[in-house]
Amino acid sequence: MLLKMESPAWILISNRTRKKERKYMINIPTDVFANILCRLPVKSLKRFQCVCKSWYELIKNPNFIIQHLHQYSNNKNVSENCLLFTYTTPCCCHPTHLEPADHVNSLYAYNIEEDVSLHLLDLPYRDEKLYLDIFGPCNGMYCLDHLRSIMLVNVALREFQVLPELSIQPHPCSMKTVGFGFDPKTNDYKVVLIVNCTCNEAQTLCFPLQVLVYSSSCNSWRKADDTVPSSVDVSIIKSSINTYVKGNFHWLAANFVPGDVTAYYRVLCFSMFDEVLHEMRLPSCLTIVQDSDSTFYELASYNGSLSLIVSPCKPQEQWFDVWVKQDYDDDDSWTKLLSIRLVAGFFKPMGFWRDGQFLLEDCSGQLVLYNPSTHNIKKNLCFYGLDKYFSQTIFYSESLVSVIDRG
């Protein structure tokens, strides 16, 4: 891809010898120069924007942003090095000047390989206990769902945008479920909000299920209720792991039998392309669970495929299975890929890591890296010298895609 600049890319080269330092300028073709820059992290590129006007225009060029996204941001060796997490700090321990009752909630990246944490962005929330769900990454962007608001965030650019309030207020007893993804046809980032209300003992919908879609290009919400299948009458179970796969966001859905512990499970999918909510079947042996209090289901993305993690709810039972949907369009292609028997002291899987390793939560609530082949615990994951509990395992990713003024 050829990127045009008003002037050639001139670089100052310093060549130091024992006697003197020689400086000279070299001219690099624009496409070669762009190919070099697109392999650099966002922090470096933000600094390079200040070098000269031509560098600024190159880095801000939409074609370069796309090239950087493919070359750097989607490189798994880079993007899957770190986990993204929130951390709450009392105001007395934070450098900013805040009121005595305030707390600072920040986003941090934790590099598992290097065992270091990096402060990324302070959030506009002052809760002592932050109840926050993070969705993503999607091209270096995240969706943050707070009790009071939803926002889009690019932590590398230190940008966030609070989504506008809903024009239609849900019923007070309703539950909201959020999804986040990207429509490449329209270059649009979308947030889907499913609102359902199961306020009776039979766990059936008291009000029709509502689907609302936010478009970043329009910066507005719209209703999409006509995309809801008539058969959808379920309780939706959100996942703590990213479930955005092949342009669709996924939730686990369950029908509970009144007065019984039997549950009937399936998958709800929302397409970011045509904005249609549809259903998928689970493996027949997992569709009906006689004792829903004994088994824990969680959807996840495994090497780009939709997967299902099955584990016991009781901590004394040390096992979990991983099912993978080999053909996304074929509900009969579910295959049990792994069956892991854990050593004592572990509770449930929290995510996938490299080389067949897993991120697990142990019985004390801490996150560890576990190798099932060797039963080796690589390390306990700690932050600032203190143990840190992870409610979600979200990979840190960065890009030059701005969340501001996308219209």
pLDDT in tens, 13-43: 445 555 555 554 457 778 888 888 888 999 8
The DSSP output letter for 58 is H
pLDDT band of 183, cuts 50, 70, 90: very high
Q: Using DSSP, how many helices (H) and how many strands (E) does the chain show?
A: 6, 30
pLDDT in tens, 235-270: 777 777 889 999 999 998 887 666 666 778 889 999
Position 181 scores a pLDDT of 95
Count Cβ neighbours within 10 Å for each residue of 217-230 and write b for 16 or more, e otherwise: eeeebeebeebbee
Position 13 scores a pLDDT of 47
CA 141/CA 106 separation, integer angstroms: 16
CA 226/CA 228 separation, integer angstroms: 6
Residues 36, 37, 43, 44, CA torsion sign: positive
Percent of the chain with pLDDT over 90: 23
363 or 149: which carries more pLDDT confidence? 149
Say which residue the tokens 């989607």 belong to: 74
Position 90 scores a pLDDT of 57
CA 245 to chain centre: 11
98: pLDDT strictly greater than 50: no
On whether the 82-395 domain is CATH 2.120.10, my answer is yes
What is the length of the chain?
Answer: 407
pLDDT band of 295, cuts 50, 70, 90: confident
Amino acid at 193: L
Position 46 scores a pLDDT of 92
Position 288 scores a pLDDT of 73
CA 261/CA 254 separation, integer angstroms: 12
Q: Which sequence spans correspond to the domains of the chain?
A: 30-74, 82-395
CA 311/CA 295 separation, integer angstroms: 6
Mean pLDDT of the chain: 77
CA 80/CA 352 separation, integer angstroms: 10
CA 191/CA 174 separation, integer angstroms: 18
391 or 220: which carries more pLDDT confidence? 220
Position 324 scores a pLDDT of 94
> What separation in angstroms does the CA of 101 have from each of 75, 87, 89, 98, 165?
42, 17, 12, 8, 27
